[in-house]
Amino acid sequence: METRHYRDLQVWQRSMSLAREVYAATEGFPRSEQFGLVSQIRRAAVSVPSNIAEGRGRASAKSFALFLSQARGSIYELQTQVELAGDLGYIGKDRAQSVLSEAAEIASMIQGLVAALHD
């Protein structure tokens, strides 16, 4: 792996940006969802760059791949929750689509990184 630090990974940088976007997007959710959907969405969004960072800090490519797999699971969880929030009218269609599109691109980047680790 060419990078030395997780902050050098474009997938980490983009997932951090997505997490910030998710925090902003969930600000307007109903108060009744603060400990429900808002909490779930935010945890999933934060989990993506966190798992990338933790995995990059591990000693082996196999371990890194495992944490990337967990990050990919979190991005899919995030997509599901954002879609539900859109269906419930908690987030606008355009904003939901923007988050979903960026999440899909990040998922592809994660998959590419996992494939590169297995080569």
State the Cα–Cα distance between residues 119 and 7, nearest whole angstrom: 23
Q: What is the rounded CA–CA span in Å between residue 41 and residue 61?
A: 29
| pTM, rounded to two decimals | 0.94
Check residue 1 and give its pLDDT.
47
What is the number of other CB atoms lying within 10 angstroms of the CB of residue 115? 10
pLDDT, tens digit, for every residue of 54-86? Answer: 999 987 999 999 999 999 999 999 999 999 999
Residue 91 neighbours by CB under 8 Å, 6+ apart: 25, 26, 28, 29, 82, 85, 99
Give the pLDDT confidence score for residue 2 in this predicted structure: 56
Task: Show the beta-strand stretches assigned E in 12-99.
Answer: none
Domains of the chain: 6-118 (1.20.1440.60)
Please count the other Cβ atoms lying within 10 Å of the Cβ belonging to residue 52. 28
- Report the SS3 class of residue 78: helix
Consecutive 10-residue runs of the chain (119 residues): their mean pLDDT?
A: 80 98 97 96 98 93 95 98 97 97 98 92
